[in-house]
Each structure stands twice: as structure tokens, then as C-alpha cells.
Amino acid sequence: MVVGPVAFMALAALLFCIGLFGALSKKSAVLVLMCLELMTNAVNINLVALSRFLTPSSLAGQFAAAFIMVVAAAEIGLGLALVLALYKARRTVELDRLDRLKG
Amino acid sequence: MAWVLLIALLPALAFAAMAPMSRAVRNRMQWLPLTAMSGSLVLSFAAFVEVWRAGLGEEPVWEAAVKLAELGGNPLEVGLRIDAITAVMLLVVTIVGLCVQVYSLGYMHKDERRGWYFAVLSLFSAAMLLLVLAGDFLLLYMSWEVMGLCSYLLIGFWHEEEGPRSASIKAFLTTRVGDVGFALGLAVMWATAGTFGFGAVARFNWGAGAGLAAASAVALLLLFGAMGKSAQVPLHVWLPDAMAGPTPASALIHAATMVAAGVYLVIRAMPIFIASSHENLHAVITIGVITAVVGGLLAVVQHDIKKLLAYSTISQLGFMFVALGAGSTGAALFHLVTHAFFKSLLFLGAGVIIHATHTQDIREMGGLRRALPWTTTTFTIGALALAGLPGLSGFFSKDEILVALVNIPDAYRYGLWEKWVLVGLMLFAAGLTAFYMTRLWIRVFGDNACSLARESHKKMLVPMAVLAAISVVIGWTQPAFLTFLGHEAAWPDPLMAGLSVAVFAIGVGGGWLVYGRQVVDTEVIKARFPYAYGMLANKLYFDLTYSELLVRPFHELAGWLSRFDQRRVDGVVNGAASWWDDFAGLLWAGDIRVIDGAVNGLGSLVKRAGARVREIEVGRVQVYQQLAYAGLLIVLLVVLLLPWLRVLLGLLVPMLRGA
Amino acid sequence: MPESIAAVPFVVLAAASLLGAAMVVLSHNVVHAAFWLLEFMMAVAGLFMLLSAGFLALVQIMVYAGAVTVLLLFTVMLTLRHREDAERPLDLSWPAAGIALAVLVAAGAVIASFRPAVAHAPAVTPGIAEFGRLLFTQWALPFEIASVVLLIALVGAVWWSGGEE
């Protein structure tokens, strides 16, 4: 079987969608962040795979993925700090209960 | 001679000037009407001289008319006319008018509203003068009405009291009844003759049959009007009550001038009477006789000096009407003239007496001949003139009437017996006159009881003296008078003269015996004939009859109509108003519910829609996320499917256009 | 000659990653979910190795599998009051599933229309040295910006955690 870019892309798509589903439906902020990680990782896979198959010498995809990792790390660091701050303020991380912007 | 208009115009201008003034200013302007009246007097003399020189009798010396309008092809004119009758009347009115005004200076000296009194007096004089200057029945009627108004104003001058108020209304309404007849007569006159002018009517050929009937109608209707103004029975009831006004006003209006207007009217309408049936003249005589006798009888039992003189006036007016009915306008006019002078004199004297004794009841008076010498003299002259002392004016004029009665033309179809009955009745009335004047004199001036009354001011005495002097002299002018009028001149008939002297003597003597010597006790007579006395004392129940038959039903009708108006008419109006109110309330409710409902409904719809839409703002992050992704998907779909969409549209559009 | 990635390692690693992802979403226990995420990270690292992205695989393990997952676990521990609170309902929603499915379909459509110029991977690819060289030459600016971003994130995280003095 030829494991070409299509295979990796399909895998990445699947992982992304699983992550999307979780991100949109989970009610715990921590779980949502986890699902967000799933999504970013899926994107990384896609980029690296395409770079390997299309422009192997420039490693463009790898660099893109590297910087995405940086941003994702920053994002999750801040996100979790937020979650902790929220928890301190509201004693809960249930997204359903955090609806002060309602109306 | 157009300046004769000034005779009437001067007093009118005086009134017009004084009317708008304030009370204070007006009260100081009394010289104005006096000046106007003096001017009128001078001009009246001038007019008289002119007429004398022309010597045309009853033919006009001067006539003028102005066209007011054109009615059905006939020109409607009013105008002036000067003839012998006019000249005489002018003098009478101005002389008596001036005397009364001078007298009033003293009499009304302390009254608060004397300015207004003089103003109305002036207006009255103007109206009366215009009446005698009038050359046609229409202008006569208009002046007649103005005089009625002035009479109302003067009788009710002291309107703060009930008596003058009701008396003035009574006078106005009673004369009004007559005026209706007058107006109807004018209408028939116009319809038949097509003119109002004295000369034109006199020359008019009434024709026969219907025309004659019309002439009779006019004559009788005008007579009815004259009856009202000249206080003939049964329209005499207003005159005694009219005594509630100031005495000098009564002297002018209710003795000399206004009440004479009716006689004047009949004089002017004589051609109509003569042209129509002689039955009309019968009617005139009958009315006159009844009035003369009734007036005299009622005067006998009066205690109020002014009311006594009022009934006397009524009686004397009856004399004038008898003269008219006998066809002698000369005798009637002569008596009118003499009566004007001595009756006004008597009234002015009564004013002085009342002023001095502070009462009007003759039973409370006495002995005034010592206290008021001047008044006594002048009053006595007037009384004797009225009673008919030979040599004084009254004798001559009354005698002339009797002569006229005796010499009634055969055309009037009086039987000999009828004539002498009439003469007898008139003699009886004359006797009554003498009798009640004697009674009056004895009660007021007789008795030796010394009264503490003081004589009056010169302003009041001088006019009386003037009038007295005239009363003495004027009788002797009788032949000249008649010639002046264009009639035959005659000295009194010896037979008639003798009869009237006899009657005079009987009357005076009887009065002296009963009241002076007190031969017979009046109380006894009263007790023996209570029924007769009661009738006379109650004025023959005229007032009571009128009150019950006419006045009260009228009041009840008025009350009924008023209640009807209130309940039905106002009910309808109020009902309509409340219906409209309900209707408006309905519209208001509609507005509130329907219109406001729509508006508010729209508002609440928007609110509810907004609330629904707002539900998207759940405040939950996941929901926002899902929405965001859903939107993203839609955009993606459109972008991806764009080529296919273009193909699809390319196919659809021709299909739609084709359809 | 066309070269392809070795099939067997790929299938194994792909399966592992799919399993990890699925279990993260479908786990009742938050802590378990975190560990499944760790497993997923490791699988992705393996995939990177397969794709000759050695540096990335190392970074993946160091940053993701190491720091991020630990961070997550710390947070989970700090936000749980009782041990029992770790168990929670699955919170699956149909709209989310629908959207995810639609996205999958859309992605599938795009992939299906993908016609790569080459369907094979060359045998020799630049190594870590080349990666490093390129990083500090061609990609130097993004590198610096990335460090600034990390600094900001660090400061921000400290702030939000309550370090305000």
C-alpha cells in the first residue's frame, strides 16, 4: 500500500474532527483545552506530512508546525492560568455555569 | 318752510347729546333741553304766524316728503305737513312742554337722576312735535311708538320701587294692544289706498262694496289705536296707574299731549270715517260717552289727588271723542287745546300740593288756601276752567261739543231721541266734573285747619301762573280758533250755554253742600249703597277682569312653555349632548384599544421577537463556538460549491425567464 | 524510484493516535482523559519520526507530552474538590457532532480532489543540522517573535495565576 500524502491528510482530518467534536461539546474547560490540543496536533501532522511529500528540501511545513507548537504551548499555558483564575473566582469550571454574559 | 323740522329736531338733538353723558355731567345740563324747547317754541310761533297769514284752514301751507322705498310699484314716502291743525298743536305742545320743564327744574331739583329725566322729557317732546308735524300716517305711527317708549321710561322713572315698575309695563302693554290695531289699520290702508299721506288718503276714492269695507276696517282699527293712547274705555286702565311717575311728567304726557295723540289721530283720519259708514262714527260717539261718564263716576270716589285728576282726564278725553263722533273736529281740537292747558296746570298744582303736604290722599289735606296762596289761586282757576265756569276756557270748549252734538248732520242717522240722550249724558258728565272738582277743592283747600305747608319755589309757580293765564284767556278765542281751522265760527248757542251753566251750578252746589256744609254724610251714602260704591271704588272691576281673564292665563301659559322648554327641549338637547358624549367615549375606547392596541402590539411584538432572538446570547461559550463553526461551514460550502452554483444558476435563469 | 513511508508503522501509529483522540473525548474520567492525551501525543511524536521530522518529534515529546500534559494534570488536580469529581458525564451534543461531521465531509471533499505532483517521498531529507541552520537564518525572525510570544504568555500566566504583587 502506498502511504502517500492522502493517507496522512485523511488521518489529520479525522483527528481534527474528533477534536472539534470534543471541543464543541465538552462542558469542562480543561477537557475543552485538551480537545483543542488534539486539533492543533492534527494540523501539525497535516503540515509536516505535506512538507515531507511536496517540499522536502525547504522543510517549510516543519517550521510552520514548530511555530504552531510554540503558539499552542503559550495558548495552553495562558488558558490553564485562566481556568485557575476562573476557578478561584467561581469555584467551578463548568462552562454551562459560566453564563454571566447571557442576555 | 323746511325749518319747521328744527322744531322737532332741537329737542331730539338735546336728547342725543345728553344720553351718552355720565350721570354727574348730565345732571348739570338741564339748561340744554330748556334751550331746545325755547327754540322750538319760538319756531312754533313763527310757524303759526305763517299759517295764519296763509289762511288756508285745513289745507296744507307746506308739505314735503322723502321717498323711503318702493313697495309693489307704490312709492313709500314719509314727510312733513304744516296746516292749521299742525300750527295749533305745535303751540300747545311747546308752551305746555316749556312750562313743565321749568316747573321740573324745581320739582326734580334734588333727584339723583334728574339729568336723565330731562333727557327723556326732551325726547318725548321731540316725538310729539314730530307727530304733529307728520304729513302721513306712517311717520305719525313711528312718533307714536317713540312716545310710548318715553311714557314707559317716565312712568317707570323711579324704577327702584314696585309701583312705578309695574305701572310702566301696564301702560306700555295696554297702549300696545291699541297699537296693534293701529298697525293693522295701516296695513289695510296701504293695501287698499297704496299711500299713507293725509291729503292722499283724504282724496282717495274708496269705491263701493269691498273698498268701503276696507275703509271701515281702517277707520275702526285706527280708532282702536286711538283708544289705547287716549285711554278710552276699555283701554283706560293704564292711566290711573301711570300716576306713579313724576308729576310734571304726568302733566305733560298724561294730561296734555300724549293722551291727546289719539284724538289727533282720529282728527287726521276723519276723512276715512266720513268716507266709510256712519256706523263708525256711532262707535266713536258711543265710546266717548261711555268714557266720559265712567271717568267722571270713578273720579268722584277717588282719594288720591293724582288718580282723581287721571280719571278726570279720561272723562275729558271721552268728551273729545264725542265731539269727533259728532263729526266736529274743530270742537274736539278746541277742547283738546283748552284741556291741555288747564289739566296740566292742575297736575302741576297737585305736584306742589303733594310736595307741601307729603301725601297724595286728599282726606289728609286741608286748609291749604292759607298756606299756599299762589298755588290756591292758580289751581282754583284751573279747577273752575275744568268745571266749566262761564268765561273760562273749559266752558267754551265743552259748550262747543254740546253744540256739535245737537247739530249732528242728518247723514249720520241719529234719531232725535238718541241725540238728546247723548246730550243728556254729556251734561251729566259735565255735572259730575263740577261735582268732583268741588269736592277736591274743598278737601284740599277748604277746612279752616291751618296747615304748616310752605309755598313752593318760584320756578314751580311761574309756569302755573302762565298756564292759568292762558286758561283764562284762551276760551275767548273760540270763534277765531274755528275760523283758523277753516270751520264756521259761532258763539255759544244760548240754549246749550244755559244748560251747561245750569249743570255747572248744580255740580258745584251739590259738591259744596255735600262736602262743604256736609249736609249729607258721605259715610251714610256709602253705607246705603254699598254695592254701587264698591263698584266705583274698585274702578268698575276693569283691572280685576283684565288680570283674571288675560294676565293670569298668559302668565300660566308662559310658565307652561318655560317648563316645556326645560323638560322637553332641553331634554332633547341634553340627551343629544349625552349621546354625543357616549359616542365620543366609544371612539376613545376604540382609539385606546384598537389603535393603541395596534401600536402597543407592534411594540410588544418587537420586544418578544427581540427576546427570542436574544436567546442566542446564552452566555455559554460552547454555544458560541458551535455557532461560529456553523457559520464557517456555510461559508466554506458556498466557496466550495460556487462553480456548481454557477452552473445551476445558468440552467435556472433561462427556465424562469421562459416561464 | 517512488519511495513511500513504511506502511506498517504508519498504520500502528495512526491507530494509536486515533484511539488516544477518541478516548480523550469518550472518557468519563478527566484524569484518564489527560493520560489518553499523553498517549496521543506520543503517537504523534512517532508519526513525526516516520515523516523524518526528528527535531519536531523531540520537541513534541518534550513540550507536549511533557509540559503540556503535566500542566493539564496539575490544573485538573487543582480544580477538583474531591476525587469523585473526576468522574463526569460525557457531554456529547448532536449539534457539535453534526458540525464535526460536516467539517469532515468538507475536508474529505477537498482531499478527494487533491492531486499531488508527486506521490512519493524522496529518500534523503535534510537532517536536524539543516533544520537548525534554516531556523537561525531563514526563519530567524519568526523565531525571535516566537520567543517574545512565549515571554508574554509567561508573564500573562503568572499574572492570571494571582501573582500581582
- Give the gap in angstroms from C-alpha A5 to the nearest C-alpha of chain C: 7
* Closest-CA residue of chain A to B627: A24
Question: HEC string of B336-402?
Answer: HHHHHHHHHHHHHHHHHHHHHHCCCEHHHCCCHHHHCHHHHHHHHHHHHHHHCCCCCHHHHHHHHHH
The answer to whether the Cβ–Cβ distance between C72 and A33 falls below 8 Å is yes
- Interface residue A18 vs chain C (CB under 8 A): yes
Displacement of CA B82 from its chain's centroid (Å)? 25
Cβ atoms B404, B481 nearer than 8 A = no
**Neighbour tally for C15: CB within 10 Å:** 12
DSSP code per residue over B590-614 = HIIIIIHHHHHHHHHHHHHHHHHHH
pLDDT tens string B538-588: 777 777 777 777 778 888 888 888 888 778 777 788 888 888 888 888 888
Nearest to A24 among B614, B619, B629 (CB): B629
Longest dimension (CA), chain B: 155
Residue holding cell 313743565? B100
Longest dimension (CA), chain A: 55
The answer to whether the Cβ–Cβ distance between B626 and C95 falls below 8 Å is yes
Range scoring the smallest mean pLDDT among A19-28, B82-91, B535-544: B535-544
Displacement of CA B473 from its chain's centroid (Å)? 33
Rounded-to-integer distance, Cα B202 and Cα B197, Å: 8
The answer to whether the Cβ–Cβ distance between A3 and C4 falls below 8 Å is yes
Nearest to B640 among C95, C99, C106 (CB): C106
Low-confidence ranges of chain C (pLDDT < 50): 1-2
The answer to whether the Cβ–Cβ distance between B622 and A101 falls below 8 Å is no
Q: What is the pLDDT of residue C2?
A: 44
Rounded-to-integer distance, Cα A5 and Cα C132, Å: 25
B618: which chain A residues are within 8 Å (Cβ-Cβ)?
Answer: 99, 102
C-alpha distances (whole Å) from B126 to each of B108, B259, B586 are 21, 16, 65
Q: At what angle do helices B4-18 and B114-133 cross, to 10 degrees?
A: 160
Say if residue B568 is in the same domain as residue B626. Answer: no
What residues form DSSP beta bridges with B66? B78
Is B641 inside any structural domain?
Answer: yes
B633: which chain C residues are within 8 Å (Cβ-Cβ)?
Answer: 99, 102-103, 106
Cβ atoms B475, B338 nearer than 8 A = yes
The answer to whether the Cβ–Cβ distance between C37 and A34 falls below 8 Å is yes
Q: Let me know the angle formed at the C-alpha of B331 by B326 and B334, rounded to the nearest 5 degrees.
A: 155
Q: What is the pLDDT of residue B205?
A: 80
- Interface residue C111 vs chain A (CB under 8 A): yes
Question: 3-state DSSP: chain C helix, strand, coil percent, rounded to 5?
Answer: 75, 0, 25
B626: which chain A residues are within 8 Å (Cβ-Cβ)?
Answer: 24
Rounded-to-integer distance, Cα C19 and Cα C36, Å: 8
Displacement of CA B567 from its chain's centroid (Å)? 36
- Interface residue A80 vs chain C (CB under 8 A): yes
Rounded-to-integer distance, Cα B424 and Cα B405, Å: 10
Q: What is the pLDDT of residue C33?
A: 94
Size of interface A-B (CB pairs under 8 A): 32
Rounded-to-integer distance, Cα B618 and Cα B624, Å: 8
Give this complex's ipTM.
0.91
- Interface residue A76 vs chain B (CB under 8 A): no
If interface means Cβ-Cβ distance under 8 Å, which residues of chain B face chain C?
622, 626, 629-630, 633, 636-637, 640
Confidence category of residue B71, pLDDT binned at 50, 70, 90: confident
Tell me the average pLDDT of chain B.
84
Q: What is the pLDDT of residue B389?
A: 85
* Residues B638-644, mean pLDDT to the nearest whole number: 81
Q: What are the cell numbers at B316?
A: 275729558
The answer to whether the Cβ–Cβ distance between C106 and B637 falls below 8 Å is yes
Q: pTM here?
A: 0.62
Is B17 inside any structural domain?
Answer: no
Nearest to C99 among B630, B637, B640 (CB): B630
More confident residue, C100 or A5: C100
Cβ atoms B234, B293 nearer than 8 A = no
Scanning A20-39 for CB atoms below 8 A from C yields 20-22, 24-28, 30-31, 33-35, 37-38
- Tally the domains of chain A: 1
- Tally the domains of chain B: 3
Say if residue B386 is in the same domain as residue B472. Answer: yes
Is A95 inside any structural domain?
Answer: no
pLDDT tens string B128-152: 999 999 988 999 999 999 999 999 9
Is B68 inside any structural domain?
Answer: no
Q: What is the pLDDT of residue B394?
A: 83
Is B395 inside any structural domain?
Answer: yes
Say if residue B551 is in the same domain as residue B525. Answer: no
The answer to whether the Cβ–Cβ distance between A62 and C56 falls below 8 Å is yes
DSSP code per residue over B318-342 = HHHHHHHHTT-HHHHHHHHHHHHHH
Question: HEC string of B3-37?
Answer: CHHHHHHHHHHHHHHHCCCCHHHHHCCCHHHHHHH
Say if residue B471 is in the same domain as residue B605. Answer: no
Say if residue B425 is in the same domain as residue B550. Answer: no
Long-range CB contacts for residues B494-499, cutoff 8 Å, separation at least 24? B496/B399, B496/B402, B496/B403, B496/B406, B497/B390, B497/B399, B499/B402, B499/B427
Is A51 inside any structural domain?
Answer: yes
**H/E element, B102:** helix B84-107
B640: which chain C residues are within 8 Å (Cβ-Cβ)?
Answer: 106, 109-110
Compute the Cα dihedral for A88, A90, A96, A102 and give only its sign: negative
- Counting Cα atoms < 13 Å in the Cβ hemisphere of B58 gives 16
**In degrees rounded to 5, what are phi and psi of residue B359?**
-150, 160
- Give the gap in angstroms from C-alpha B597 to the nearest C-alpha of chain A: 27
* Residues B251-271, mean pLDDT to the nearest whole number: 88
Cβ atoms A12, C13 nearer than 8 A = no
Is B19 inside any structural domain?
Answer: no
What residues form DSSP beta bridges with A3? C5
Residue holding cell 531529507? C125
Say if residue B295 is in the same domain as residue B388. Answer: yes
Q: What is the pLDDT of residue B574?
A: 83
A25: which chain B residues are within 8 Å (Cβ-Cβ)?
Answer: 622
Rounded-to-integer distance, Cα B154 and Cα B123, Å: 11
The answer to whether the Cβ–Cβ distance between A25 and B620 falls below 8 Å is no
* Strand residues in chain C grouped as ranges (E): none
Say if residue B519 is in the same domain as residue B656. Answer: no
The answer to whether the Cβ–Cβ distance between C99 and B636 falls below 8 Å is no
Say if residue B625 is in the same domain as residue B611. Answer: no
Rounded-to-integer distance, Cα C68 and Cα C70, Å: 5
C-alpha distances (whole Å) from B216 to each of B138, B310, B326 are 19, 31, 17
**In degrees rounded to 5, what are phi and psi of residue A94?**
-75, 120
Cβ atoms B201, B189 nearer than 8 A = yes
The answer to whether the Cβ–Cβ distance between B619 and A102 falls below 8 Å is yes
Is B234 inside any structural domain?
Answer: no
Domain that holds residue A39: 5-90
Rounded-to-integer distance, Cα B220 and Cα B229, Å: 15
C-contacting chains (≥3 CB pairs under 8 Å)? A, B
Q: What are the cell numbers at B64?
A: 314735503
* Closest-CA residue of chain A to B613: A103
The answer to whether the Cβ–Cβ distance between A87 and C53 falls below 8 Å is no
**In degrees rounded to 5, what are phi and psi of residue B403?**
-60, -45
Eight-state DSSP code of residue C87: B
Q: At what angle do helices B329-357 and B393-406 cross, to 10 degrees?
A: 140
B492 pLDDT higher than 70: no
Pairing of strands B74-82, B62-71: antiparallel
- Interface residue C44 vs chain A (CB under 8 A): yes
The answer to whether the Cβ–Cβ distance between B625 and A24 falls below 8 Å is yes
Rounded-to-integer distance, Cα C109 and Cα C105, Å: 6
DSSP code per residue over B255-280 = IISHHHHHHHHHHHHHHHHHHS-HHH
The answer to whether the Cβ–Cβ distance between A98 and B620 falls below 8 Å is yes
Q: What is the pLDDT of residue B454?
A: 66
The answer to whether the Cβ–Cβ distance between C109 and B640 falls below 8 Å is yes
- Interface residue C34 vs chain A (CB under 8 A): yes
Nearest to A77 among C21, C71, C114 (CB): C71
The CATH number of residue A50's host domain is: 1.10.287.3510
C-alpha distances (whole Å) from C132 to each of C58, C126, C135 are 13, 10, 5
A13: which chain B residues are within 8 Å (Cβ-Cβ)?
Answer: none
A-contacting chains (≥3 CB pairs under 8 Å)? B, C
Residue from B316, B538, B286, B303 nearest B434 by CA = B316
B630: which chain C residues are within 8 Å (Cβ-Cβ)?
Answer: 95, 99
Confidence category of residue B185, pLDDT binned at 50, 70, 90: very high
Is B257 inside any structural domain?
Answer: no
Rounded-to-integer distance, Cα A10 and Cα A99, Å: 37
- Give the gap in angstroms from C-alpha B638 to the nearest C-alpha of chain C: 11
Q: What is the pLDDT of residue B450?
A: 57
Rounded-to-integer distance, Cα B541 and Cα B547, Å: 10
Q: What is the pLDDT of residue B588?
A: 85
pLDDT tens string A58-100: 888 999 999 999 999 999 999 999 888 888 888 888 888 877 7
* Residues B12-27, mean pLDDT to the nearest whole number: 87
A99: which chain B residues are within 8 Å (Cβ-Cβ)?
Answer: 618-620
Is A83 inside any structural domain?
Answer: yes
Say if residue B426 is in the same domain as residue B569. Answer: no
- Give the gap in angstroms from C-alpha C107 to the nearest C-alpha of chain A: 7
C-alpha distances (whole Å) from A91 to each of A97, B147, C163 are 10, 114, 19
- Interface residue C7 vs chain B (CB under 8 A): no
Tell me the range of B217-231, B506-520, B606-620 where mean pLDDT is highest.
B217-231
**Neighbour tally for B351: CB within 10 Å:** 27
Nearest to B626 among C99, C106, C109 (CB): C99
Rounded-to-integer distance, Cα B515 and Cα B386, Å: 19
Is B506 inside any structural domain?
Answer: yes
Is A42 inside any structural domain?
Answer: yes
- Interface residue C145 vs chain B (CB under 8 A): no
Residue to substitute from C75, C82, C92, C124, interface A, most A β-carbons within 10 A: C75
Residue holding cell 425567464? B657
Domain that holds residue B580: 538-615
Is A96 inside any structural domain?
Answer: no
The answer to whether the Cβ–Cβ distance between C114 and A5 falls below 8 Å is yes
Say if residue B544 is in the same domain as residue B527. Answer: no
